[in-house]
């Protein structure tokens, strides 16, 4: 494995609760070190992005997102973004999970590149906890 031979050292700042959650998972999954966990998390992130860039052609799929209801202006922003993509959004379902967390499922159909742009825009908003995109090709 030549890929991981050259190690770079980085310093990052994280919210305490994010790191606590991460450490809990690492502990549960038996990781030997936090560094190994972070390397794995970055690999997963990279793979997910590569996989997302393969979303091409006519597609049908769902975007599943979790976000913070209390984040100022976020609800309006999310609605505005979705209106901007009304040609590819077929339906959406909103569930108020707790007092401050929302789960939203958006059904999409259309050009893969556009679907990907929509998912990335939603992902980039402050207060959005997670966005997952799952699509299938419409062509046989």
- Which residues of the chain form contacts with Ni ion (CB under 5 A)? 96, 102
Least separation in angstroms between residue 72's CB and Ni ion is: 15
| Residue matched to tokens 């090709």 | 137
Least separation in angstroms between residue 77's CB and Ni ion is: 14
Least separation in angstroms between residue 64's CB and Ni ion is: 14
Least separation in angstroms between residue 84's CB and Ni ion is: 20
What gap in Å lies between CA 65 and CA 69, rounded to an integer? Answer: 12
Q: Give CA torsion, residues 54, 57, 63, 67, to 10 deg.
A: 70
Between residues 114 and 125, which has the closer beta carbon with respect to Ni ion?
A: 125
SS3 content of the chain, % helix, strand, coil (to 5): 40, 30, 30
Which residue number is nearest to Ni ion in terms of Cβ? 102
Least separation in angstroms between residue 81's CB and Ni ion is: 16
Q: Which residues of 8-19 are buried (b: 16+ CB within 10 A; e: fewer)?
A: eeeeeeeeeeee
Between residues 102 and 128, which has the closer beta carbon with respect to Ni ion?
A: 102
Between residues 34 and 96, which has the closer beta carbon with respect to Ni ion?
A: 96
What gap in Å lies between CA 52 and CA 19, rounded to an integer? Answer: 26
Between residues 24 and 132, which has the closer beta carbon with respect to Ni ion?
A: 132
Cα–Cα nearest to 67, from 120, 10, 17, 130: 130
Between residues 64 and 114, which has the closer beta carbon with respect to Ni ion?
A: 64
């Amino acid at each position: 494995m030549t890929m991981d031979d050259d190690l770079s050292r980085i310093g990052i700042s994280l919210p305490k609760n994010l790191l606590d959650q991460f450490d809990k998972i690492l502990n549960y999954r038996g990781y030997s070190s936090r560094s190994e966990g972070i390397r794995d998390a970055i690999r997963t992130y990279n793979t997910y992005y590569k996989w997302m860039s393969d979303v091409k052609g006519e597609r049908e799929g769902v975007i599943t997102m979790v976000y913070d209801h209390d984040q100022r202006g976020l609800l309006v922003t999310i609605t505005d973004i979705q209106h901007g993509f009304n040609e590819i959004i077929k339906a959406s379902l909103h569930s108020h999970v707790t007092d401050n967390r929302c789960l939203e499922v958006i059904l999409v159909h259309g050009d893969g590149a556009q679907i990907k742009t929509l998912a990335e825009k939603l992902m980039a908003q402050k207060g959005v906890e997670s966005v997952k995109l799952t699509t299938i090709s419409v062509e046989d």
